[in-house]
Amino acid sequence: MLAPVKGPRISQARSAVWAYVRSAPGTYLWLGILCATTVAVHHMSPAFEHEFLRRRSTNIHELSTHPVRVLAASAMWTGGGSWLPYAVLYSVFHAQAERWLGTVRWLVVCGAAHVLATLISEGALAWAIADGRAPASAVHTLDVGVSYALAGVVGVLTYRIPTPWRYPYLAAVLLLFAYPLTAGATFTDLGHFVAVLVGLACHPLVGGRQRVRNPKETGAVGPG
């Protein structure tokens, strides 16, 4: 027997991947920036990396002096570690949300979750410092990354899932993000939970999008 020709299948797979990437341009542009910044961090010395990221961190000190700059800059760094988990999470959650909501509404959800979760969690930390429950040095605590925006998108995707499966998904999400609050919660744990609630509060942006937005996803065809 002749071996099956793999060329056309590989070409089709590449076309499918490229089509998926093009359907969520904001997600993969952001992911590309994160790839570049992650590589950059890996080439920094530990001492330089800490100072570099601190100036781009949404800690209390930087928020009080350069709020707009650090709110934007902090969303472009992963804080080190591996980039591949972000590639998976962005493809599973962000890409789906952007394809469903459209780029503008998806960005609104990401921005709202990132900004509100940051301000509320850092406000809680400032309160703890003022109350003596956290050291004064905590005003410089490193806080960069994209997890708040991701948590917000995880929350808003609740409305993408049809009933009755929506409710187990929602219960699992709330349990996943609420549990850390019961066991030695940090300000980032609070931020993640707030971000999920912000995503759920973005229900008005979902209007008319409870069903699949793109007819190609259902095989439906428009009028000829």
Q: Within 13 Å and on the Cβ side, how many CA atoms surround 188?
A: 13
**Global confidence as pTM:** 0.85
Q: Which two tokens stand for residue 69?
A: 């700059």
Residue 35 CB neighbour total at 10 angstroms: 15
The pLDDT value recorded for residue 42 is 87
The reported pLDDT for the residue numbered 209 is 65
Q: What per-residue confidence (pLDDT) applies to 27?
A: 97
What is the CA 114 to chain-centroid distance, rounded?
Answer: 8
Q: Where are the domains of the chain?
A: 22-210
Which of 219 and 2 is assigned the larger pLDDT?
A: 2
What average pLDDT score do residues 199-216 get?
A: 72
The two tokens of residue 50 are 């800490």
Q: Which two tokens stand for residue 105?
A: 């509404």
pLDDT tens digits, one per residue of 12-53: 777 777 788 888 999 999 999 999 999 999 888 888 888 888
Q: How far apart are CA 63 and CA 70, in angstroms?
A: 7
What gap in Å lies between CA 20 and CA 13, rounded to an integer? 11
CATH number of 22-210: 1.20.1540.10
pLDDT recorded at residue 218: 37
